Amino acid sequence: MANIWEWLSQYTDARVGIPRHGVSQSTEAQLKFQLDHAKARDAVWAELDFVWLAEQLPMDSIAIQSQAQSRSQYLTRPDLGRKLNSDSSNRVAGLEKTQVAIVIADGLSTTAISAGITELFSELKKLESISYKSQKLFLAEQARVALGDEIGELLEAELCIMIIGERPGLSASDSIGIYLTYEPRIGKSDANRNCISNIRPGGLTPKEACFKMNYLINEFYHRGLSGVTIKDLSDEILISDDGVSKLENKD
């Protein structure tokens, strides 16, 4: 019997139109599920090589760590991933103030950061909205998004750009998220941030993600805040009348 839903798979990585044999999935579908599950687990548990990461970036970086002392503790105690350990806190506090804090964190998918950070960071460095601002780059181990608030407070930063591995799913284990916070300070909530997610092959390209980021940052500085009241209208600029990205054929 023909699978009437199979054609949908060309538009999404989600599990649609899975073939069956009797009342069960086909062997191929079951093996694909097991493989994707293994990739998701590996993405969460793998340790990111921060020495390698620092060598890939064309900008001096500062190594910091959250209060989570191991990957296991990081996964079971999210609160510890939101706070700098004492050594890192003292290190950041001793730095000169900066306008923009850029934080690259392992997050919940080290696979995503390892695979996609080089191209994404290259595009980020082209952003006109922050090109004239003083910047510092941090590489944060065992970090959650809110760790950027403490960094921002210690540096009295105007903006925190948190680049982090997103929680993997069974459709994608290599997705990067960017969280943007205007005037990051301890106590800010997720309602005070804007997120650009699904940056990966098959999702949002680094160039498209940075186009959106540039739009949002300009809005932050214009309105003096970030978060849910800032609407991302960049798609109206980014997508042409025929539905094709205007960045598709640009260098």
pLDDT at residue number 169? 85
For the chain, give every domain's residue range.
50-238
Q: What is the rounded distance in angstroms from the CA atom of residue 55 to the CA atom of residue 228?
A: 36
* The model's pTM: 0.89
* CATH architecture entry for 50-238: 3-Layer(aba) Sandwich (3.40)
Report residue 192 as tokens: 């005070």
pLDDT at residue number 3? 67
Q: What angle do CA 243, 246, 249 make, to 5 degrees?
A: 115
Torsion-angle region of 43 (φ positive above 0: left; ψ -120 to 50: alpha; else: beta): alpha
Q: How far is CA 202 from CA 30, 102, 175, 195, in A?
A: 22, 25, 10, 18
pLDDT at residue number 23? 79
Phi, psi of 14, deg, nearest 5: -65, 160
Q: What is the full per-residue pLDDT of the chain (251 aa) written as tens digits? A: 566 677 777 777 777 777 777 778 888 888 888 898 898 898 899 999 999 999 999 999 999 999 999 999 999 999 999 999 999 999 999 999 999 999 999 999 999 999 999 999 999 999 999 999 999 999 999 999 999 999 999 999 999 999 999 999 888 889 999 999 999 999 999 999 999 999 999 899 999 999 999 999 999 999 999 999 999 998 887 665 555 566 765 55
Q: Give the start-end residues of each E strand in 131-238.
A: 135-141, 159-165, 176-182, 193-199
Phi, psi of 240, deg, nearest 5: -75, 175
Q: Coil, strand, or helix at residue 26?
A: coil
pLDDT at residue number 9? 75
Phi, psi of 22, deg, nearest 5: 70, -125
pLDDT at residue number 241? 54
pLDDT at residue number 251? 52
